[in-house]
C-alpha cells in the first residue's frame, strides 16, 4: 500500500508539472491561454513523449526451500500503457495481466508480482520482468532452490557381509543443495578407529573382526530442513569363538551341575556336547539349553560316572571350534577370610573357607616369609610330618623343622578335618613365633574323597610392629630350652607339656588350629 501511494503521488506531481509546462508554452506563443480541448490534447502528447516507466524494485537473488512459496517483485512507476511481461529464458510466463504459462503454480499477485507455489528444483534460474518500451527495460531475479539432503539408498537398512581379516569400504551417497556434509557414526558404539564420528562420504573398516560387527549410520546435513540418514548393518563372517563361563565346574553326587559355553559365530553355529569322545543326547537327567550366545549342558542328580572331561563343539560354514571343561567332585579353591594386617607382632590368626559338596578330609597349609625378590625364587616347599592327635589333651602335635624361616622355602602342614555336611567349611590357624613388622604369604589346599583341589592363590599377611597383649583365652605357650620346632595345637584347649626333650635355647613356634 505504501508503494502504491508513493506511485500515485509521483504520478500526480508529474501530471501537474506537465500541464504547467504546456500552458506556459501556449501563453508565450499566442499571448493567450489555450482552450481546454487544446490543452488536454497537448497534455496527452506531452506525457507520452516525456514520461518513462521506472522500476521501483531491483533484481535480487532468492534462496527458496523446495515445496515453499516465493514472490518475485516487479513494481513500476508510471507504467502508462506499456505492456509488462514475465519470462524465464525464452518462455513467456505472463503478458500484461494475462498468464501465458499453463503452470497452475504461477500467478500474478498485488499488481505485477510473480508468485510461484510449491517450488521445485526445475524452478531454479533467472526470472525477468520486462517493460515493452522502445528501449526495453527489465530487472532480473535469480531463484536458487535449496534442497534438503536425501539419501540415494533411501531409509531402508542395508546389509554388508565381510569375512574376518578382510577390509571393506562403506559409502554414503546423498543429494541436496547446498551439497550436504556426510558424517559416519556407529549405533551404541564407537567406530573401529576409536572415534565417535568421522566426516567423510566413505568409511573404511580394515582387518575386520567380530567386534566390528554392528549398525553404522551415515548422516547428511546441509542446513536445509532436517538431516537425512541411512544405516548399514555390517556382518563379519567368522568361525565360532568359544568362551567358557568356567572351565572347571564343581558339583557333588545327587546335586545339579551346569556346564556353559558362550559361543560367538557368524553365521550362527551349531553346538554339540561331548563327554570324552561320546556325543551326548538329551535325556531325562541331561538337558541342553540355548539362550542367545549361551549354551548350557544341565546334568540333574549327578552320578559318580558323570564326573570327568567334557567338550562343546561349535561349527558353522566358516569353521569349527572346540573347548574343554571338567566336571569335578574335588573341592573348590580356598578363599582367605582373615585381614591382611595382624593384631599382634609375633603371631597371626589365618582363616580361610572352602566350598565342597563332599566332606573335606584334610587341609594342607603352606606358608613362608615373603622373599625380597619374589619373582626370582623357585617354588619349593618342605613337607612336614602329619599332625597327630594326642589322647591326653586333644591336641594336634608334631615336631616340624623350622627351615621355613628361610624365605625361599615353603613349609606345609597337613591337618586332618572333622567331616561335616556343610557346603562351606572354614578353618583358622594361629601361627606363633613370627617376626614383628614382617610380611608372610600362605597358600592352602583341601582334600575330599575325590582328591586334592587346586592350590589357592597366594595370600599375603603382615604382623604388626607394635606390641599387643594376646587374648588370655588363647595364651601362647613358651618352651624353654627348645630346639627351633613347630608345634600344632588347638585353640581353647589347655596344652599339656611335651614329653619330648627339647634341646637348645630358643622360643618355640606354635601353630594352633581352630576347627570351625
Give the number of other Cβ atoms within 10 Å of residue 268's Cβ.
12
Supply the pLDDT for residue 387.
46
212-226, 408-422, 497-511 — which is least confidently predicted? 497-511
Higher pLDDT, 415 or 392: 415
The mean per-residue pLDDT over the stretch 432-451 comes to 92
Sign of the alpha-carbon dihedral angle for 271, 273, 279, 281:
negative
Supply the pLDDT for residue 300.
96
At residue 486, does pLDDT exceed 90? no
- H or E element at residue 261: strand 257-266
pTM (2 decimals)?
A: 0.59
Q: What percent of the chain has pLDDT over 70?
A: 73
Q: How far is it, in rounded angstroms, from Cα 379 to Cα 382?
A: 11
Q: What is the largest CA-CA distance in the chain?
A: 169
Query: What domains, with CATH codes, occur in the chain?
Result: 54-147 (2.60.40.10), 152-236 (2.60.40.10), 245-328 (2.60.40.10), 335-515 (2.60.40.10)
Asked if residue 267 has a cis previous peptide bond (ω within 30° of 0), the answer is: yes
102-111, 116-125, 249-258, 390-399 — which is least confidently predicted? 390-399
336-350, 433-447, 489-503 — which is least confidently predicted? 489-503
Burial, 134: exposed, middle or buried (Cβ in 10 Å; 0-12, 13-18, 19+)? exposed
The grid coordinates listed for 146 are 535449496
Contact 301, 256 (CB under 8 A): yes
Confidence class for position 242, pLDDT limits 50, 70, 90: very high
Mean pLDDT of all residues in the chain? Answer: 79
Confidence class for position 234, pLDDT limits 50, 70, 90: very high
Cell 581379516 identifies what position?
Answer: 165
- First-to-final CA distance of the chain: 103
Q: Nearest-CA neighbor of 251 among 179, 212, 299?
A: 299
Burial, 150: exposed, middle or buried (Cβ in 10 Å; 0-12, 13-18, 19+)? middle
> How many Cα atoms sit within 13 Å of 311 on the Cβ side?
12
DSSP 76-123: EES-TTPPEEEEETTEEEEETTEE-S--TTEEEETTTEEEE-S--GGG
Q: Which residues contact 62 (CB under 8 A, 6 or more apart)?
A: 70, 72, 141, 142, 143, 144
Q: How far is it, in rounded angstroms, from Cα 107 to Cα 333?
A: 90
1-15, 48-62, 189-203, 368-382 — which is least confidently predicted? 1-15
Contact 79, 131 (CB under 8 A): yes
The mean per-residue pLDDT over the stretch 190-215 comes to 94
Cα 268-274-275 angle, rounded to 5 deg: 155
State pLDDT tens for residues 283-307. 999 999 999 999 999 999 999 999 9
Supply the pLDDT for residue 409.
85
DSSP 357-383: SS---EEEEEEEEPPTTGGGSPP-EEE
The mean per-residue pLDDT over the stretch 9-16 comes to 40
Cell 538337558 identifies what position?
Answer: 287
Amino acid at each position: 500500500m505504501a508503494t502504491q501511494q508513493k506511485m500515485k503521488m509521483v504520478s500526480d506531481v508529474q501530471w501537474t508539472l506537465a500541464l504547467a509546462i504546456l500552458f506556459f508554452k501556449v501563453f508565450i506563443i499566442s499571448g493567450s491561454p489555450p482552450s481546454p480541448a487544446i490543452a488536454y490534447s497537448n497534455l496527452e502528447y506531452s506525457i507520452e513523449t516525456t514520461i518513462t516507466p521506472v522500476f521501483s524494485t531491483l533484481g535480487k537473488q532468492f534462496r527458496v526451500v523446495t515445496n515453499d512459496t516465493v514472490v518475485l517483485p516487479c513494481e513500476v512507476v508510471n507504467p502508462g500503457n506499456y505492456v509488462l511481461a514475465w519470462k524465464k529464458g525464452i518462455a513467456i510466463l505472463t503478458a500484461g495481466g494475462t498468464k501465458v504459462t499453463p503452470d497452475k503454480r504461477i500467478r500474478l499477485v498485488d499488481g505485477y508480482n510473480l508468485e510461484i507455489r510449491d517450488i521445485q528444483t526445475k524452478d531454479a534460474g533467472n526470472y525477468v520482468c520486462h517493460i515493452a518500451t522502445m528501449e526495453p527495460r527489465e530487472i532480473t531475479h535469480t531463484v536458487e532452490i535449496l534442497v534438503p539432503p536425501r539419501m540415494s539408498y533411501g531409509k531402508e537398512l542395508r546389509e554388508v557381509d565381510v569375512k574376518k581379516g578382510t577390509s571393506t569400504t562403506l559409502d554414503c551417497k546423498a543429494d541436496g543443495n547446498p551439497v550436504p556434509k556426510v558424517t559416519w557414526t556407529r549405533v551404541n558404539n564407537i567406530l573401529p578407529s576409536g572415534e565417535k564420528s568421522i566426516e567423510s562420504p566413505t568409511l573404511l573398516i580394515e582387518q575386520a573382526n567380530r567386534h566390528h560387527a554392528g549398525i553404522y549410520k551415515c548422516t547428511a546435513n546441509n542446513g536445509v530442513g532436517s538431516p537425512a540418514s541411512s544405516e548399514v548393518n555390517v556382518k563379519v563372517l567368522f568361525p565360532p569363538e568359544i568362551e567358557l563361563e568356567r572351565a572347571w565346574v564343581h558339583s557333588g553326587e545327587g546335586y545339579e551341575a551346569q556346564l556353559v559355553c558362550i559361543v560367538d559365530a557368524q553365521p550362527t553355529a551349531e553346538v554339540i556336547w561331548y563327554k570324552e569322545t561320546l556325543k551326548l543326547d538329551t535325556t531325562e537327567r541331561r538337558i541342553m539349553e540355548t539362550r542367545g550366545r549361551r549354551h548350557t549342558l544341565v546334568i540333574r542328580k549327578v552320578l559318580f560316572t558323570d564326573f570327568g572331561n567334557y567338550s562343546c563343539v561349535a561349527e558353522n560354514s566358516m569353521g569349527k571350534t572346540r573347548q574343554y571343561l571338567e566336571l569335578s567332585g574335588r573341592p573348590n579353591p580356598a578363599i582367605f577370610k582373615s585381614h591382611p594386617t595382624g593384631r599382634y607382632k609375633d603371631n597371626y590368626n589365618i582363616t580361610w573357607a572352602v566350598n565342597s559338596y563332599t566332606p573335606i578330609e584334610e587341609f594342607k597349609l603352606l606358608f613362608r616369609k615373603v622373599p625380597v625378590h619374589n619373582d626370582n625364587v623357585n617354588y619349593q616347599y618342605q613337607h612336614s610330618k602329619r599332625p597327630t592327635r594326642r589322647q591326653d589333651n586333644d591336641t594336634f602335635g608334631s615336631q616340624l623343622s623350622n627351615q621355613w624361616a628361610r624365605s625361599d622355602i615353603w613349609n606345609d602342614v597337613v591337618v586332618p578335618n572333622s567331616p561335616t555336611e556343610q557346603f562351606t567349611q572354614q578353618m583358622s590357624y594361629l601361627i606363633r613365633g613370627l617376626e614383628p613388622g614382617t610380611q608372610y604369604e600362605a597358600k592352602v589346599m583341601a582334600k575330599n574323597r575325590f582328591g586334592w583341589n587346586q592350590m589357592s592363590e597366594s595370600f599375603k599377611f603382615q604382623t604388626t610392629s607394635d606390641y599387643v597383649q594376646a587374648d588370655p583365652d588363647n595364651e601362647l605357650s613358651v618352651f624353654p630350652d627348645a630346639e627351633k620346632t613347630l608345634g600344632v595345637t588347638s585353640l581353647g584347649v589347655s596344652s599339656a607339656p611335651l614329653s619330648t626333650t627339647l634341646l637348645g635355647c630358643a622360643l618355640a613356634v606354635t601353630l594352633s588350629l581352630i576347627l570351625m
